Amino acid sequence: MAFENFPQTEKTQSEVNAPKPSNNNMRNILTGALVAALLGTWGYIIYDKNNVKEKDSQQENLIASTSSERDELQKELEDAAMRYDMLKSSNTKLDSTITAKDREIEEKRVRIQSLLSKTNATESELREAKTLIASMNVDLEGYKNQIEVLQGEKIQLTAEKAAVTRQRDIARKEYDSATVVIKEKEDLLDVGSTLRASNFNITGINEKNKGKEKTTSTAKRVDKLRITFDLDENMISKSGSKEIYVCITAPDGSPVAVEALGSGTFNTRDGQQKFYTQKLDVNYTQNKRQTVSFDWKQNSNFAVGNYRIEVFNNGFKVGEASRPLKKGGLFS
């Protein structure tokens, strides 16, 4: 093969004088790019870290603020609860209104405490707790006013009761005094209404054949004693049946009392029990003198000696007389 020699183009002077690019310049460019990239990366890392720190700081501040607010709300709740307990202890009279308010306040207190007891309570929950505390304080003020009204009524009732008690005591004292006076007057009337016996006549009677009677003072001939006396006029004693007790005492001092013949016992005004020989129910007419007569005939013979006759009415001895019976002789 033949080679042909072509004439080469001549280079210009500028091309001849231009410097040739070197490998060092490329290395420098790459190094600068890497440094720039590295600086950018570190800058981003630093920026991101600062953002994280700022967020953490904000979160910590939020947590601290929330905790502080929760503590403040807890203290407000405790203060409100303390006032509530004090008001309850001072309230000695519960009516239906106070009882209903008690339930309402207690429900709010329980709800507030449940909200504040949460570790991670939200702002919404804290706002609810704050609102409930404010409402609870309003309720407590109304509760206090109601208690003051009740206490005022209690004081008034106490004063009225004291006044009524004083009036009752005065009335009772006056009543007792009046009762004493009335009792004294009744006692006086009772005593004053006691009948008096007078004009005694005691006769020994000897019963003859065919119903004939003869007076005698000889003991062995006496079959019965006829006792007669008058009940005097009495303006106080009302008309009606009066109990008259006749007590006969034998010469030996023993009471003449035969139960089969109607004898018995009664109580005198001095509280003693006494045997009576005969009880008489007399239909008395007020302020009229009346004669009373009865016969006492015993199963045994009459003894020689003095027979004492006592008459009692209303528990009092109202008259007394005696009749001696003598021993019989040849000409008696």
Residue 243 or residue 36, greater confidence: 243
Q: State whether 266 and 157 are in the same domain.
A: no
Rounded to whole angstroms, the Cα distance separating 181 from 226 reads 44
**Structural domain includes residue 39:** no
Q: Taken in order 57, 58, 62, 63, is the CA torsion positive or negative?
A: negative
Q: Two tokens at 103?
A: 């339930």
Q: For the ranges 15-19, 84-88, 228-232, 308-312, which has the lowest average pLDDT?
A: 15-19
Residue 217 or residue 9, greater confidence: 217
Is the pTM of the predicted complex or chain greater than 0.85?
no
Domain boundary among 177, 192, 207: 192
Rounded to whole angstroms, the Cα distance separating 239 from 284 reads 5
Q: Two tokens at 134?
A: 């404010």
**Structural domain includes residue 233:** yes
| Cβ(228)–Cβ(321) below 8 Å | no
Tens of pLDDT along 131-189?
888 887 887 777 777 777 776 766 777 888 888 888 888 888 888 887 788 888 888 88
Domain boundary among 192, 225, 249: 192
Q: State whether 203 and 177 are in the same domain.
A: no
Q: State whether 107 and 75 are in the same domain.
A: yes
Domain boundary among 192, 222, 252: 192
Tens of pLDDT along 256-308?
999 999 999 999 999 999 999 999 999 999 999 999 999 999 888 999 999 99
Q: Which residues contact 144 (CB under 8 A, 6 or more apart)?
A: 83, 87
Let me know if 213 is exposed, middle or buried by CB neighbors in 10 A (0-12, 13-18, 19+). middle
Q: What is the mean pLDDT of the chain?
A: 81
Q: What are the angstrom distances between the C-alpha of 209 and each of 220, 226, 243, 271, 332?
A: 17, 18, 35, 46, 20
Residue for token digits 């009576």? 276
| Cβ(241)–Cβ(284) below 8 Å | yes
- Amino acid at residue number 39: L
pLDDT at residue 198 is higher than 60 = yes
The three-point CA angle 169-175-176 to 5° equals 90
| HEC string for 205-234 | EEECHHHCEEECCEHHHCCEEEEEEEECCC
CATH number for position 236: 2.60.40.10
Domain that holds residue 144: 47-192
**Structural domain includes residue 315:** yes
CA dihedral 14, 16, 17, 21 (to 10 degrees): 110
Rounded to whole angstroms, the Cα distance separating 300 from 296 reads 12
Query: Per DSSP, what are the bridge partners of residue 255?
Result: 249
